[in-house]
Amino acid sequence: MCTCLLIDILTMLNINEIRNDFPIFQREVKPGVPLVYLDSTATSQKPLAVIEAMNDFYRRSNANIHRGVHTLAEEATELYEQSRVRIARFINASAAHQIIYTRNTTESINLVAYSWGRAHLKAGDLVILTEMEHHSNLVPWHILQAERGIELEFIPVTDDGLLDLEAYKTLLARSPKLVSFAHMSNVLGTINPAAEIIRLAHAAGAVTVVDAAQSVPHFKVDVQALEADFLAFSAHKMCGPTGIGVLYGKTALLESMPPFLGGGDMIKEVKLRSFRPNSLPYKFEAGTPAIAEAVGFGAAVDYLTSVGMDAIAAHEHEITEYALERLEEVPGVRVFGPSAQHKGGVTAFTLDGVHPHDVAQILDRDGVAVRAGHHCAQPLHEKFGIPASSRASFYLYNTKAEIDLLVNGIYKVKEMFG
């Protein structure tokens, strides 16, 4: 048996084992039609380890946290805080208190805009974003622009889906106060050179925000190596539950920021006419949090760690290379974004003469789940002169055979539309 064939077999056996960890892949979309899930950029599927961890919490340890001294309250608090510790370790944060639980990446970025932004930005101050941003990293700054009169400028995206770093350097000469950017595009799949972007921003005196919703789930992200000031991501895109995310921040920045929300657990002392906020991280975690979801988040981090982030990244790169090769074979398909060398497991495309929603609906008849629309990135689609695109996205559980089913489905779409 040749070495290359042996490697292929071993890889497939490993992927089959991984797929067995995800109960949803046992179902059929309709009789005889298995699920081909190519929409992990929107939300990933959940392994049994995460489902069981949350189920076990509700069955055995359900109670509110931090306030109670009874057994269940102490168990729930320990589970909640241990997840924070494991998440901090996962991104190599220097301390667990730098991990702020939020609802998702969107809330994390809004927290920075509302708290740090309102405390530090004034009329005329420059914030640099990019043309490939998700709406979650555009709208909070638009709101602040309308409220405070800050200026927004954007790093251009080149025709091949990369950021124009020379244009970025020109913008930095204007002494921005903040640079906020996506580590990986949810449309183009572009993996931006985050360390270089941050280094240049710091040299210009700017604070940085990294939207890592699409990077943390797919390859190793080390916040200390990046020197990131703030970094945001969501559990539901990395095998965890919906409804919980994280804002990482450097301690000095977080300590200098006013609270985002007011209420229980974010206070140290309350009087009728005053209050004192709690210490980190609780200053930013008002009210009863998503406790079971935090437990599930910790289980997701453990699962990804057990598989290995380097192995996940290598597998996705292989799948992405294969997907680009197959899609480029199809007449009338236009693929957006850079080559696989600069790309994560996301492939947005259009098919001549067919609306992306029609593509997605017809693919669904064969169990192939892709996303269609502007993917919360309308300005990027406008730049490329299209109202929408179809998007196939890949994760640790996807196979080359599923890419073949995607391409076969696109050929069926072509036949239907002549």
Residues with active-site annotation: 376
The total of other beta-carbon atoms located within 10 Å of residue 58's CB is: 11
Give CA torsion, residues 9, 340, 132, 336, to 10 deg: -100
Numbers of helices and strands, H then E, in the chain: 15, 17
Cα 355 to Cα 416: distance, rounded to the nearest angstrom: 13
User: Quick one: tokens of 383?
Assistant: 């730049």
Instruction: Give backbone dihedrals phi and psi of 346, rounded to 5 degrees, phi first.
Output: -135, 130
Q: Which helix (H) or strand (E) holds 305?
A: helix 291-307
Listed in sequence order, the residues at least 6 apart from 98 whose beta carbon sits closer than 8 Å to its beta carbon are: 88, 248, 249, 250, 251, 254, 280, 281
Q: Which helix (H) or strand (E) holds 348?
A: strand 346-351
3-class DSSP assignment, residue 28: strand
Burial class (CB in 10 A: 0-12, 13-18, 19+), 10: exposed
Residue in the structure block whose two tokens are 């921040």:
249
Q: What is the DSSP letter of 216?
A: T
DSSP assignment of 344-380: -SEEEEEETTB-HHHHHHHHHTTTEE-EEE-TT-HHH
Helix axes 3-20, 309-328, angle to 10 degrees: 110
Tell me how far apart the terminal alpha carbons of the chain are, to the nearest angstrom: 44
Nearest to 396 by CA among 296, 298, 300, 293: 300
Cα 90 to Cα 353: distance, rounded to the nearest angstrom: 45
> CA quadruple 49, 14, 311, 43: dihedral positive or negative?
negative
Distances (CA, A) of 242 to 236, 296, 297: 5, 10, 9
The total of other beta-carbon atoms located within 10 Å of residue 288's CB is: 13
User: Quick one: tokens of 64?
Assistant: 């509110």
Would you say 101 and 350 are in contact if contact means Cβ atoms under 8 Å apart?
A: no
